[in-house]
Amino acid sequence: MKSKKSMIWVFMAVLFLGVSVICLPQTANAQACKESTEKKQTLDDADKDDGEKLSAEEAKQAKIMIEGARAIALNRVSGQVVEEDLEKENGRLQYAFDIRDNNGKVWDLEIDAVTGEILKADDDEDDDDDAEKVSVGDAKEAKISMESARAIALKRITGVVIEEDLEKENGRLQYAFDIRDSSGKIWDVEIDAVTGEVLKATDEDDEDGDNKQGAVGNAKKFSHPAANKVKK
């Protein structure tokens, strides 16, 4: 009788060990799956932290609706909007648009969400990194607005502005414009952001730069009225 009870206990012990061996891999897999999920969530959260957070209260500060900003962007570059977003960059609330023009080229446009001003209109394929970075503090030093500088540039070269930007070159703050004239020729025009002086007006296809001297020589002639005021 005692031997029979011992056999029963041995059988139960073996059965228990078998069940434990079967369940152990499943428990390990469940733990591994949980750790993988937590790791993925951590990476996703890290990706979200790359840009500045845009709170609901900040979004309410936008004076321009996205429809209005889109209209401004499309008036600047005709084409199809492939991506749009409200974002915060360097503390400034703005709309960002990617627009594909009729030639298939994609343009990156940024519209101030408060004033509606065009902050950026660049070809995404433009890798021109020669210009110095323009900080928010640098931008505040501009005495001439983008609109006024554009008017000066278009007075110098009649045509359509296809690209414009505020940049800093050799320590000087200036606006750079690419203007296509009626013959299809592209001109590179630079306007001093403090005085309104025409610093450069050259045909991009002209390799000898003959037009540059004439442009600089006539700079005062095409200076913005604000330039004289600043000099005084």
Please indicate whether residue 156 or residue 11 has the higher confidence score (pLDDT). 156
The H or E element that residue 192 is part of is strand 186-192
**pLDDT at residue 219 in the model:** 38
* b/e code 140-154 from CB counts within 10 Å (16+ = b): eebbbebebbbebbe
Please indicate whether residue 66 or residue 42 has the higher confidence score (pLDDT). 66
Q: Say yes or no to pLDDT of 50 above 50.
A: no
Q: Say yes or no to pLDDT of 230 above 50.
A: no
Neighbours of 26 (CB within 10 A): 9
The whole-number average pLDDT for the span 168-176 is: 89
> What are the helix (H) ranges across the chain?
2-48, 56-59, 66-76, 136-139, 146-156, 210-217, 225-231
Q: Residues near 25 by Cβ (< 8 Å), separated by ≥ 6? A: none
DSSP state of 124: T
% of the chain exceeding 70 in pLDDT = 61
**pLDDT at residue 14 in the model:** 58
**What is the pTM assigned to this prediction?**
0.39
* pLDDT confidence bin for 40, thresholds 50/70/90: very low
* pLDDT confidence bin for 43, thresholds 50/70/90: very low
When the pLDDT of each residue in the chain is averaged and rounded to a whole number, the result is: 74
Q: For 93-139, what is each residue's pLDDT tens digit?
A: 999 999 988 888 889 999 999 999 998 888 766 544 455 667 778 88
